[in-house]
Amino acid sequence: MSLSLARLRPQRQSAAGPVDPDAAVQLVDVTKTYRSGGGSVAALSSVSLRVPRAKFLAVMGRSGSGKSTLLHCAAGLDVPTSGSVAIGGTEVSRLSETERTLVRRARVGFVFQSYNLVPSLTIEHNITLPLRLAGSPVDHAWLESVVEHVGLSDHLQRMPSELSGGQQQRAAIARALAAGPDVIFADEPTGALDLQTATDVLSLLRDLTSSLSQTVVMVTHDPMAAAWADDTVVMADGRIDQVLREPDAATLAAVLGGYHS
Ligand SMILES: Nc1ncnc2c1ncn2[C@@H]1O[C@H](COP(=O)(O)OP(=O)(O)OP(=O)(O)O)[C@@H](O)[C@H]1O
């Protein structure tokens, strides 16, 4: 039997409650437990989170607080032990691995600290790779606008090694945007960049939410980076401990400092 996205249309009801079709991402009562050394670790405990469309959300918290686990579950890379995760109204937490892969390819973009571009492909082919993997046609008008948006129109035929770190990260952002995803997950996207280049990349992510109504969820340790987001959730011991609305970097640094003492 072939799988198609048509079969994975948005649902209105999930085992954990109603799915909100207007949310880009919705977690309801998500728990993730890992077995570890004969015992178990609760990496996420009863996490509920709704990320509206066109929001830029930062996720912070000290090491081990559950940020990566949250990102992996929210992006459909992993399934929760209990609770539900919906992306663009489709409950991914109850799909098979193959179905989740299809949803991810069509609806989720990823940006990583290390860019993860394929070194042997041109920038153009890197950007269109997710579309080709998904067997989707390349919408050239959309692609042109995305490439222009990230400022790489003159670099499409170059190889990744011929670009600066900031340019490579902008190519990775274009790749994440190419399929018109419900949400882009960015994991420490500026961790490898100098301050000015990091500022350019954060300004671009910020701009995507306003000009393209793109939802972005960014995990970061850096209060300066998180300050570019609309809101910041602070994780502690696998829970969302605080939600800060439009905090500035100084407020975030002070709040984060409290978790390290
Ligand atoms: N595969 C795994 N097996 C066992 N325990 C795990 C696994 N993955 C994560 N954990 C544990 O779950 C908890 C949350 O880990 P997670 O990686 O989500 O934290 P984090 O906030 O992303 O940390 P960091 O900032 O260091 O990346 C930690 O106690 C971690 O040791």
**CA-closest residue to ligand 1 atom 26:** 63
Tell me the pTM.
Answer: 0.92
- Looking at residue 134, its pLDDT comes to 83
Model confidence at 3: pLDDT above 90: no
User: Ligand 1 mean position to 257 CA, how many Å?
Assistant: 20
DSSP string, the chain: ----GGGG---SEETTEE--TTEEEEEEEEEEEEEETTEEEEEEEEEEEEEETT-EEEEE-STTSSHHHHHHHHTTSS--SEEEEEETTEEGGGS-HHHHHHHHHHHEEEEETT----TTS-HHHHHHHHHHHTTPPP-HHHHHHHHHHTT-GGGTTS-GGGS-HHHHHHHHHHHHHTT--SEEEEESTTTTS-HHHHHHHHHHHHHHHHHS--EEEEE-S-HHHHTTSSEEEEEETTEEEEEEES--HHHHHHHHHHHH-
Mean pLDDT of the chain: 91
- Mean pLDDT over 70-88 rounds to 96
User: Ligand 1 mean position to 67 CA, how many Å?
Assistant: 8
The pLDDT tens digits of the residues spanning 174-185 come to 999 998 999 999
Q: Which atom of ligand 1 is nearest to the CA of 235?
A: 21
- Looking at residue 135, its pLDDT comes to 86
**CA-closest residue to ligand 1 atom 7:** 34
- Mean pLDDT over 143-148 rounds to 91
Using CB distances shorter than 6 Å, the residues near ligand 1 are 34, 36, 41, 43, 61, 63-69
Which residue did the predictor score with more confidence, 13 or 83? 83
- Looking at residue 22, its pLDDT comes to 82
- Looking at residue 7, its pLDDT comes to 47
User: pLDDT band at 5, cuts 50/70/90?
Assistant: very low
Which residue did the predictor score with more confidence, 149 or 25? 25
Candidate CATH numbers 3.40.50.970, 3.40.430.10, 3.40.50.300, 3.10.310.10; the one for domain 13-260: 3.40.50.300
- Looking at residue 36, its pLDDT comes to 84
User: Ligand 1 mean position to 26 CA, how many Å?
Assistant: 21
- Mean pLDDT over 158-187 rounds to 95
The pLDDT tens digits of the residues spanning 15-26 come to 555 678 789 999
User: Ligand 1 mean position to 84 CA, how many Å?
Assistant: 20
The pLDDT tens digits of the residues spanning 193-233 come to 999 999 999 999 999 999 999 999 999 999 999 999 999 99
- Mean pLDDT over 24-39 rounds to 94
User: Ligand 1 mean position to 64 CA, how many Å?
Assistant: 5
- Looking at residue 2, its pLDDT comes to 41
- Looking at residue 37, its pLDDT comes to 85
